Amino acid sequence: MSKTRLQIIPLGGLGEIGKNMTVFRYDDEIIVIDAGMAFPDETMPGIDIVIPDFSYLIENRDKVKAILITHGHEDHIGSLSYLLRDVKAPVYATRLTCGLIEGKLKEAKVNDADLHVVKSGDEFKAGSFKFGFFHVCHSIPDSCGIYLRTPVGTIVHTGDFKFDHSPVDGEQTDMYKLAELGHRGVLALCADSTNAQNPGYTPSEAVVAKSLMSSYADAKGRIILATFASNVSRIQMAVDAALAFKRKVCVFGRSMVNVVGIAREMGYLKAPEGTFIEPEELNRYRDDRICILTTGSQGEPMAGLSRMADGSHRQVQIHAGDTVIISASPIPGNENSVGRTIDNLMRLGAHVVTSHNTRVHVSGHGSQEDLKTMLSLVHPKFFIPVHGEYRMLCSHAELAESLGVKKQNILIGENGSVFELTNRSAKINGKVQAGAVFVDGLGVGDVGNIVIRDRQQLAQDGVVIVVIALEKGSNQVLAGPDIVSRGFVYVRDSEGLLTEAKDRIESILDRCEAGNVTEWNAIKTQIRDSLGKYFFERTKRRPMILPIIQEVK
């Protein structure tokens, strides 16, 4: 690779929300920013999480000089433990981010990670790259954007950000650093597009603090607040409000307990001694002295709030007088499960406060005016919108164009696109392997498209299994055909259907015997076709049909 060119290769986060990962390559040196995961959508049944296909990094493992992490959210750190199994490189992140990463690595039994704690303002050198971190506001403390000084020019990657002039922890997005970088000249900006379709500014977290205070003031009984475990800033506000109203705080949900523990230990979640109580202490306090923090703001069936809502939580039973605050917005696709949770809570008598009726949530991502401010501060020569579905990237590109960035200097790509920059030009030049790797239970990548397609078909119309025992050589039927179905029809009501199916199989077997068809695959195909047609005619359903022939010696 020529020494006059820099490659920027997103391996995740383009054309999607989540699993952010961007590769920067100069000559034989690679820097990676972020190693995130995504949650599966409705087309991926049974999948637990989705991580980037980072084959490109594995192939080039010796070139990777550093992995830089912008902040501690799952969509930025969630695949790091998988990446580090194959790629050994030093990891740079701020203190809280390192704390959260350590927790995850420990869980994944990755013990040899080389973690470097950085501070906003620090600058490091790795090969020909210099890189530095600058503070940005987001919904977790210690979030950073990153700049890379390369032989070709300076690149700024915003990470997730918004401009918040009154942040919870007092730390504003470092506008001075951004302005300085812009003043000295930025070759390319990679910027968060999550809210590029939202007009106006994203409100400050201070707005939420105010709403929480007033919701707490109105509450007569217990307060149960659900939010993302990783939203440490929000949790701080919930704790502050609890303190203001003399409530003890009790934390439920594995990930919430985990994050609160790390954040408290490291001093990112501030509360005087005695603020937090254990679940078994709850009954020592009056309802109006209790504030419960829990997971489940997305209606996830196994999470704290959902189990409280459906009455299956072991320690918390919802009753009249409880105030439940859902301090989060439903992620697209989760509206129905969140709605069901709310309904169940209300049926149990709880008063439910959501962002629908009160400002108990604001986004951690900048809206159009924030994005314009970023573009104006940095005024890059080239602009690459990242972190977003295709329509969001397009909106972000339009914003940049409206601010005077030349259309030909704005590049919209996809995961795997190779953005190639010189100090005066930028283009998309080729593609490397990229995509989604499914994690299902302990398996990483062992569930591929075929397994997913099978699951989809099984979900749609179920399965019909046909078992036949044939004598080896003679092909005489020794047992069966037996038919077993699951997820297809209610068997008790469908005896006629299955009996006729059996008749059809028997006549196929007779014909095969008569015609001396001994090729079992041919018999199976005939059974599959004949039953498929018959079931569709009779039911308009297309179950998966699995003929199994056993050979008896």
Which residue ranges are tagged as binding site for substrate? 229-231, 361-365
Strand, coil or helix: 329? coil
Residue 12 beta carbon to its own copies: minimum distance, rounded to whole angstroms: 16
Q: Ramachandran region of residue 334, left (φ > 0), alpha (ψ -120 to 50) or beta?
A: alpha
Q: What angle do CA 201, 206, 210 make, to 5 degrees?
A: 120
Strand partners, 545: 464
Cα 501 from Cα 495, distance rounded (Å): 10
Nearer to its own copies, 184 or 450 (CB): 450
365 is catalytic: yes
Q: Are 403 and 410 spatial neighbours (Cβ–Cβ below 8 Å)?
A: no
Integer-rounded Cα Rg, in Å, for the chain is 28
Residue 470 beta carbon to its own copies: minimum distance, rounded to whole angstroms: 9
Query: Angle of helix 175-184 relative to helix 368-378, nearest 10 degrees?
Result: 50
Strand, coil or helix: 481? strand
Tell me the two tokens of residue 472: 């080896």
Residue 301 beta carbon to its own copies: minimum distance, rounded to whole angstroms: 10
Q: Which residues contact 82 (CB under 8 A, 6 or more apart)?
A: 35, 51, 108, 439, 444
Which residue is catalytic, options 192, 322, 370, 461? Answer: 192
Annotated binding site for Ca(2+): 46, 48, 440
Cα 11 from Cα 55, distance rounded (Å): 10
Single-letter amino acid, residue 237:
M
Residue 397 beta carbon to its own copies: minimum distance, rounded to whole angstroms: 11
Tell me the two tokens of residue 98: 């390192």
Cα 352 from Cα 533, distance rounded (Å): 51
Cα 511 from Cα 416, distance rounded (Å): 54
Nearer to its own copies, 257 or 469 (CB): 469
Indicate if the alpha-carbon torsion angle 368, 374, 379, 384 is positive or negative: negative
Nearer to its own copies, 67 or 352 (CB): 352
Q: Which residues contact 11 (CB under 8 A, 6 or more apart)?
A: 21, 22, 23, 52, 53, 54, 56, 57, 415, 416, 432, 434
Nearer to its own copies, 333 or 435 (CB): 333
Which residue is catalytic, options 157, 313, 365, 396? Answer: 365
Strand, coil or helix: 290? strand
Nearer to its own copies, 87 or 397 (CB): 397
Strand, coil or helix: 550? strand
Q: Which residues contact 336 (CB under 8 A, 6 or more apart)?
A: 299
Strand partners, 477: 470
Q: Residue holding tokens 């076709």?
A: 529
Residue 399 beta carbon to its own copies: minimum distance, rounded to whole angstroms: 13
Nearer to its own copies, 456 or 474 (CB): 456
Residue 197 beta carbon to its own copies: minimum distance, rounded to whole angstroms: 6
Q: Residue holding tokens 């890379």?
A: 148
Nearer to its own copies, 282 or 458 (CB): 458
Annotated binding site for Zn(2+): 71, 73, 75-76, 138, 160, 387
Cα 400 from Cα 373, distance rounded (Å): 10
Contacts to its own copies by CB under 8 A: 15, 41-42, 45-46, 197, 332-333, 335-336, 339, 342-343, 346-347, 352, 356-357, 389-391, 394, 440-443, 446-448, 450-452, 454-456, 458-463, 465, 467, 469, 478-480, 482, 484, 486-490, 493-494, 538-541, 544, 546, 548, 550-553
Residue 440 beta carbon to its own copies: minimum distance, rounded to whole angstroms: 6
Which positions are catalytic? 192, 365
